[in-house]
Amino acid sequence: MSSDLVIDVRNVTKHFGGLTAVNNCSLSVRRGSVTGLIGPNGAGKSTLFNIVAGNIVPDEGAVIFDGADVTGLAPHELFRTGMLRTFQIAHEFSNMTALENLMMVPGDQPGEYLGNAWFRPGISKSRETEVRKKALDVIDFLKLGHVRNELAGNLSGGQKKLLELGRTMMVDAKVVLLDEVAAGVNRTLLNDLAANIERMNRELGYTFFVIEHDMDLIGRLCDPVIVMAQGEKIAEGPMAEIRANPAIVEAYFGTPVETA
Ligand SMILES: Nc1ncnc2c1ncn2[C@@H]1O[C@H](COP(=O)(O)OP(=O)(O)OP(=O)(O)O)[C@@H](O)[C@H]1O
């Protein structure tokens, strides 16, 4: 075990019936890195990601998070250890403002929410003030001040993604799992989103593990990039190296990966 590794996937295998989606796969995410996971369709990326996030229990192998074996823990249990996956803002939250959404991030206890005395009559005023201040800091960091009182349901696709990122900042995640963050976001907002991920990483020290089909985004954000194919890790390195490896590009992408 190395304290440098925040996620350490060891010899993980997952079968679906007769199909081996993840095959004795080992990979790790270094603390402070933005690590990308790429590979062709059906390579096993989502399955591996779901195993790390606690949504799927592997048949074999272990997931070590921050030095502790977390194999088989449910997502809410992982949440409490500091591993967070961004999800689309749930439907019931779309009628709350951006600021309220941040204040509704779960706290340490199951069923507990950090903020908003309206939902938790017992919450102390000072606690609510503290959570509100934190939410405002997050809004400020992500430059969402102009929409802080806008209902989340009315935000643009990119603004919603920023708000999802903001929710991870409310609980000081040790690692953020980002799943297809570019999907449905236009280029301009994607730039904004990428810049914020970079700032969270460089200025605040967040670690990211990113699964993404957008190679430009992967190239911009991630180092290292891990390549999976047929359930196994086949390469790891800076995107420039991955792109320059004709065997990987041709065998696993079919066509050369365009340079950003
Ligand atoms: N719940 C499931 N039941 C049965 N087979 C599954 C299940 N989930 C994934 N698979 C299969 O496992 C293999 C790996 O799928 P997975 O979704 O992990 O790949 P991926 O690399 O994420 O692909 P994509 O880039 O297309 O999302 C595929 O052959 C897929 O059909």
Residue 217 included in any domain? yes
Report CA(35)–ligand 1 centroid distance (Å): 21
pLDDT of residue 138: 92
Query: Which contiguous run of DSSP H or E holds residue 10?
Result: strand 5-16
CA–CA dist 252, 164 (Å, integer): 32
CA–CA dist 56, 58 (Å, integer): 6
Residue 200 included in any domain? no
Do 11 and 70 fall within a single domain? yes
pLDDT of residue 123: 56
Residue 192 included in any domain? no
Q: Whose CA is nearest to atom 16 of ligand 1?
A: 44
Q: What is the extent of the structural domain holding 108?
A: 88-172
Do 98 and 146 fall within a single domain? yes
What is the CATH classification number for the domain harbouring 118? 3.40.50.300
Burial of 245 (0-12, 13-18, 19+ CB in 10 A): middle
pLDDT of residue 107: 57
Do 167 and 94 fall within a single domain? yes
Do 165 and 227 fall within a single domain? no
Do 76 and 108 fall within a single domain? no
Q: Whose CA is nearest to atom 25 of ligand 1?
A: 41
- Enter the tokens of residue 200: 């969270």
pLDDT of residue 255: 55
Residue 186 included in any domain? no
pLDDT of residue 110: 41
Do 166 and 100 fall within a single domain? yes
- Best residue among 22, 45, 230 to mutate for probing ligand 1, ranked by most atoms within 8 Å of CB: 45
Do 9 and 78 fall within a single domain? yes
Q: Among 172, 198, 222, where does a domain finish?
A: 172
Q: Among 147, 172, 197, where does a domain finish?
A: 172
Q: Is residue 28 within 8 Å of residue 52, measured between CB atoms? A: no
Do 92 and 154 fall within a single domain? yes
Do 157 and 210 fall within a single domain? no
Q: Among 121, 150, 172, where does a domain finish?
A: 172
Q: What angle do CA 131, 133, 138 make, to 5 degrees?
A: 95
CA–CA dist 208, 177 (Å, integer): 6
What amino acid occupies position 67? G
Q: Which atom, in ligand 1's list, is nearest to the CA of 50?
A: 18
pLDDT of residue 22: 98
Do 70 and 106 fall within a single domain? no
Residue 129 included in any domain? yes
pTM surpassing 0.95? no
Residue 211 included in any domain? yes
- Best residue among 19, 27, 232 to mutate for probing ligand 1, ranked by most atoms within 8 Å of CB: 19
Residue 197 included in any domain? no
CA–CA dist 114, 202 (Å, integer): 26
Residues with CB under 6 A from ligand 1: 16, 19, 21, 39, 41-47
- What does DSSP assign to residue 92? G
Which ipTM did the prediction report? 0.97
Number of neighbouring beta carbons within 10 Å of residue 260 = 11
Tell me how many domains the chain contains: 2
Do 92 and 152 fall within a single domain? yes
- Best residue among 20, 27, 47 to mutate for probing ligand 1, ranked by most atoms within 8 Å of CB: 47
Q: What is the pLDDT along the chain (260 residues), one digit of tens a residue?
A: 447 999 999 999 999 999 999 999 999 999 999 999 999 889 999 999 999 999 999 999 999 999 999 999 998 888 888 888 876 666 657 889 999 989 887 555 444 455 444 455 555 667 778 888 989 999 999 989 999 999 999 998 888 888 988 988 888 788 999 988 888 788 888 888 899 999 999 998 999 999 988 888 999 999 999 999 999 999 999 999 998 888 787 766 665 545 44
Tokens 């009315």 correspond to 154
Residue 73 included in any domain? yes
Do 28 and 77 fall within a single domain? yes
